[in-house]
Amino acid sequence: MKVNIWIKKEEVLSGNITEYHTHIPQVSYTNYVQVSITVDEFAKLEDGVEPAAMIHERNPDTNEIRSREIGKHKVGLGERVYTKEKDLDTLCTEMEVRTGQDFMTWFHKLTKNEQTTLAGYYNN
DSSP string, 74-97: ---TT----SSPPPHHHHHHHHHT
The closest of 10, 48, 41 to 28, measured between CA atoms, is 10
What pLDDT score does 30 carry?
Answer: 72
Structural contact between residues 13 and 31, judged by C-beta atoms closer than 8 angstroms: no
Q: What is the DSSP letter of 70?
A: T
What pLDDT, in 10s, does the model give residues 4-63?
A: 888 888 887 777 777 888 887 776 667 888 888 888 888 888 877 555 677 777 777 787
pLDDT band, residue 108 (cuts 50/70/90)? confident
CA end-to-end span of the chain: 54
